[in-house]
Structure 1
């Protein structure tokens, strides 16, 4: 199962997220759940870097199906843009979870 943990601060802003595991929906290379989660997450990371231009730290371990992203302080505009990108990522992941809940779980918290 893919587990996504979205971290939020006391104001509800996303401060980072962790993705861990493999869906196991189908064999590697044919797993549409894994492909969907990967596309949503890596598009969000691309948006943080290229659109929001907000500082962030990313740690990735391909073999383990692990990605951890932590936002760092940025300009107010960069932070607003980053929140829009990350909230959209959460919407996409929740939509995948709705249809494939046995293979992906999204949780949120501090």
Structure 2
């Protein structure tokens, strides 16, 4: 199962970090549409943040793991842009979870 954890600031509710762990095992390796969808959404969001805002997101990526954190000290204007992109990612992941809930769980803390 894929586990996505969204870490939010307790006061503001803004997303500070997210992680993706595990595998869906929906289909054979290379044919797993759930893994492919989650990977496309999460990695695509990281790429969009970096390209559209100019903010490089510290991350760790390897097989079955993606951890991303917004850098401290990012200016407020860019934080707003990053939040919009990250909230969009959450909506897309919720859509995948609604359709394939047996293979993915989205947690927000």
The answer to whether TM tops 0.5 is: yes
2:25 equivalent to 1:24? yes
**CA–CA separation in structure 2 for the residues paired with 1:78 and 1:50:** 12
- Compute the RMSD of aligned alpha carbons: 0.9
Could you tell me whether the CA contact under 8 Å between 2:21 and 2:66 is conserved in 1? yes
State how 1:61-80 maps to structure 2 within 5 Å.
61-62=62-63, 65-72=64-71, 73-80=73-80
Find runs of 4+ consecutive structure 1 residues off by over 4 angstroms. none
Aligned residues: 107
Could you tell me whether the CA contact under 8 Å between 2:93 and 2:106 is conserved in 1? yes
Q: Which runs of 5+ in 2 are unaligned?
A: none
Look up the match of 2:48.
47
Q: Which runs of 5+ in 1 are unaligned?
A: none
**CA–CA separation in structure 2 for the residues paired with 1:83 and 1:54:** 12
Could you tell me whether the CA contact under 8 Å between 1:59 and 1:67 is conserved in 2? yes
